[in-house]
Each structure stands twice: as structure tokens, then as C-alpha cells.
Structure 1
């Protein structure tokens, strides 16, 4: 007798899509930390911010803000992997990611990048990230309650 419910098809879809999405966040964080000038230029120069200004901004982050940014990014990557492994700790990883996101957003909006005159795009993007993490928290909680995540 199998007491574990079958894995619903949507878990694989949500897991893979969230891993791709969150993997981009991991790529972005890594390239920023490595100060990849070409990558940073592709993200900041369209907004009229030079690579040197952007690098100076990121390297001036206090340790707590950088740690929260890392928690947000890597918590989501871990949550996606745990979701695919059908592990109930996916929920906890996504909650930690949300904490990191909120802390990181607080710092970045309280201390905007010099030269950034229009915060509409960063604000909308942050709200999209927030909504996706909130949805993943809800989804992982529901899958845990149904016994799909163990």
C-alpha cells in the first residue's frame, strides 16, 4: 500500500519553471559579485548608468544588505531544487528568500543607485519577484499539506 500521493504533473512544471527563473537570479547575483563589466553594462547602461558607477554602488553595499540579497537569491534557488526533490523544506527556503528579498529591496530603495532617475522598472521588477516568491510559498505549503512534499 502506497501512502505517498503521486506527484502531480504541475509540480514538475512549477519546479522547472521556478528553477529557470531563480537560476537567472543566481546568475545575476554571481555576475554582479564577480563585477563582470560586460554583464553589468548590459543591465545598467540602458538606464544611463555607467559600469563604474554600478560597480561602485554594488561594492558599497553594507554586509547585511549583501547577505540579505544572497539569502533572497539562493533561498529561491534552493526552494526550487527542494520542490523538484519533493522536499517539504522548499516552503522554508522560499520564506527565507522572501525575507532576503524584502531586506534587499529595503536597502536598494532607501539607497538608490546614483544616476537612476526613474525607479519604475526596478519597482515593477521587484514586485514581480515578490509575487512569484509569494506564489511559490503558497504552492509549496499546499503541496506539503497534500503530502506531496515530504
Structure 2
């Protein structure tokens, strides 16, 4: 028989879960904007940025989509207090590492956007790693079942 003892979640658990959901919704929005970019917008970009977009292969876009949609599903898992949120966040983190690594080191986004191109990838990686650790803590504390 499953333990029916109710574990009280701290208020900040819900704050983190809601912020994770909103963060990943922004990621989905950015992904949609990226894959639906118009020819007009592309032609208005500096050559180096346009070439970066044009040379981004389909597999990289699929990995990007995997990263943001699994992050969103993981955040839903947190809100539902499900321990499967952790492996879903791990998939998201792996996809982020692949996509950001390709973007930074193969597509060379810093050449197109300058040194600031490192800030967002590092921030995204740190947040994804935090969400994996947060879900792991939730499992250990019994918050996620």
C-alpha cells in the first residue's frame, strides 16, 4: 500500500515550478519565431547572421525543439508533482548542450552576434541544470512521486 502521508511543499516549490513553466514557454516562443522566420526578415539581416540561419541544418532545429518542448513537459511534471520530471529535464539539458554546442562552435554565433552570444547559452544551460537538480531534490524530499 502506498504511503498516504501528505508532504507539505514549501511555497517556493510552486514558485520555481511556475517560473520553469513560463521560462520554457518563452523558449517555445523563441523556437517558433526561429523556425518561422520570414524571407523578408532574413534579407534584412547582416550577411553573417543570415548565413548562420541559412546554414543551420534541420537536425539542429529538431534538437532545439526537443530542448524547449521537453523542458516545458518537465515543468508540467513539476506542477503535477511527478518524479518523471527529472528524466524529462535531463533530455532537455542534453538537447540544449548539443544545440548550443553546435550553434557556438560550428555555426560560430559569436561571429554573427559578438561576445554576447555566449551569455544566453550559458544562462540557458545553467537554468536547465538547475531544473534537473531541483527535480532530483524534489524526488529525494518526497515532493515528487
Find the counterpart in structure 2 of residue 139 from structure 1: 134
Find the counterpart in structure 2 of residue 71 from structure 1: 66
TM-score w.r.t. length of structure 1: 0.80
Find the counterpart in structure 2 of residue 121 from structure 1: 116
How many residues align? The count is 141
**Alignment partner of 2:95 out of 95, 100, 113:** 100
Distance between the aligned counterparts of 2:120 and 2:96, measured in 1? 12
TM-score w.r.t. length of structure 2: 0.83
Structure 1 residue 52, shift from structure 2 partner: 8.1
Give the superposed CA RMSD. Answer: 2.6
- Dislocated runs of 4+, deviation >3 Å: 51-60
Distance between the aligned counterparts of 2:38 and 2:6, measured in 1? 46
Distance between the aligned counterparts of 1:77 and 1:23, measured in 2? 7
Find the counterpart in structure 1 of residue 84 from structure 2: 89
Distance between the aligned counterparts of 2:140 and 2:88, measured in 1? 16
Gaps of 5+ in 2: none
Q: Is the 8 A contact 2:21 2:75 kept in 1?
A: yes
Gaps of 5+ in 1: 42-48
SS in 2 for 1:116: helix
Structure 1 residue 76, shift from structure 2 partner: 1.0
Structure 1 residue 25, shift from structure 2 partner: 0.6
Structure 1 residue 128, shift from structure 2 partner: 0.7
Structure 1 residue 32, shift from structure 2 partner: 1.3
Structure 1 residue 113, shift from structure 2 partner: 4.5
Structure 1 residue 131, shift from structure 2 partner: 0.8
Change (3 A) 1:93 1:13: same
